[in-house]
Amino acid sequence: MAVIINTNVAALNAQRNLGATSHKMSKTLEKLSSGLRINRAADDAAGLAISEKMRAQVRGMQQGQRNALDGVSMLQTAEGALDEVHSILQRVRELTVQAGNSTLSSSDRTAIGEEMVALRSEIDNIAQRTRFNGLNLLNGSLSVTHDDATATLDGDTVVENGATVSIGTIDVGNADPSATYTLNDETGGVLSLSVTSGGFTRSETFTVQNMGANASQDIIFEELGVTFTLEHDANAGNVTGTAIAAGLDGDTVVTTSSSSASFRVGSEVGDDITLSFSDMRSSALGNAGKLSTLIADNTAVATTGEADTLLASVDTAIEQVSTFRAVLGARQNQLETAINSLGVSVENLSASESRIRDADIAAVSSEMVTRQIMQQAGVSVLAQANSAPQSVLSLLG
């Protein structure tokens, strides 16, 4: 074997192996510090792709669990309100049975009718104010939107002094569903809004202010749940409130709605539980003669015959509320079952994803000890390889 000093092949070999050992050592330390077997795609390309799909599914299911919990809260809100509606209907029925007795005087029947009117009004109040996150639950509409294809307010403008006021946004989130609101000029810049619903007409007024260039103004009918914005263009001309009210006279705001709710209780499209919320107002309760019609005023039970007719309608209303409460209870049980099922699926998928992606700390720790020993040995061998050419000096002596 030749003895050479220009190229230390043994040292080069030791350096290469020591570099490889150091690289593996850094990989091992990375796994220990992160707790993951796969820290980048290069560690296991196929494993990373599979685990990312599993991770997406797990997170989707976890959100599905939260969605289902929100749905349970929503249904509990509706069912709690209907419990009070049931109590009211039971009291109305009790009064109706009392009114079927001929021992009562006309003043007695009027007094009974007064209480019935108050109770019927409270049924409507409960239906209108029972909301969850701004969604109406008991008036036959979860959310109310503006039907700009039918309404006339949207495209209307008012022109005065060379300036134009137009309609901006229209908010009907708290308005009655499937209703037509009409604007009327009451003169002097006073604008009124009226709607007829359930056989009753309600109205509210608002005084419109003068508007200058680039100004905006919110027209708020709070009790009716309708708000829209007026926007002045950039022209300097002033547009008076009187002109605006006159220009909007006769315009309509039309609402439309949907009563169907969908709870996404999974990670994929179609993983839904649906429910249609029923109208629980007095105008929707009862048989052919609805409660809103039969209890229109304090003469609802002026005769025993009227009391008999009302009794049949109240029995139907109680059955309607009972049926809807049963539907709510069934859906709540379904949602709770879905929550439990999702919990099991999340657990199993998380375990599968962990087996692919997480590091086995015991195995990695053992590997680190091996790498440390090899690294120390490599350093020692490299030192020996670097000193080997010095033996040539003894030949020169």
Chunk the chain into consecutive blocks of 10 residues (it has 397) and report each block's average pLDDT, rounded to whole numbers.
Answer: 75 86 84 87 91 93 95 95 96 96 94 96 92 87 80 90 92 84 93 85 94 93 92 91 94 86 90 90 87 92 94 95 95 95 94 90 86 86 81 74
Residues 120 and 154 placed together within one structural domain of the fold: no
Q: Is residue 39 part of a domain?
A: no
* Domain hosting residue 319, numbered range: 56-135+279-348
Domain count across the chain: 2
Q: CA 60, 65, 66 angle in degrees (round to 5)?
A: 95
Task: Write the CB contacts of 373 (distance below 8 Å, at least 6 apart in sequence).
Answer: none
Residues 168 and 87 placed together within one structural domain of the fold: no
* Domain end point (choices 258, 289, 308): 258
CA Rg, the chain, in Å? 39
Q: Is residue 250 part of a domain?
A: yes
Q: How far apart are the first and last CA of the chain?
A: 21
For residues 52 and 202, give the distance between their C-alpha atoms in angstroms, rounded to a whole number: 57
Residues 239 and 329 placed together within one structural domain of the fold: no
Residues 179 and 249 placed together within one structural domain of the fold: yes
Phi first, then psi: give them for residue 355, nearest 5 degrees.
-65, -30
pLDDT of residue 140: 81
Residues 153 and 204 placed together within one structural domain of the fold: yes
Residues 118 and 149 placed together within one structural domain of the fold: no
Residues 80 and 98 placed together within one structural domain of the fold: yes
What are 10's strand-pairing partners?
A: none
pTM of the model: 0.70
Phi first, then psi: give them for residue 117, nearest 5 degrees.
-60, -45
Q: Is residue 98 part of a domain?
A: yes
Residues 163 and 248 placed together within one structural domain of the fold: yes
Q: Is residue 24 part of a domain?
A: no
CATH code of the domain covering residue 89: 1.20.1330.10
Is the Cβ–Cβ distance between 379 and 18 less than 8 Å? yes
pLDDT of residue 396: 75
* Domain end point (choices 227, 258, 289): 258
**What residue spans of 184-257 are helical by DSSP H?**
241-247
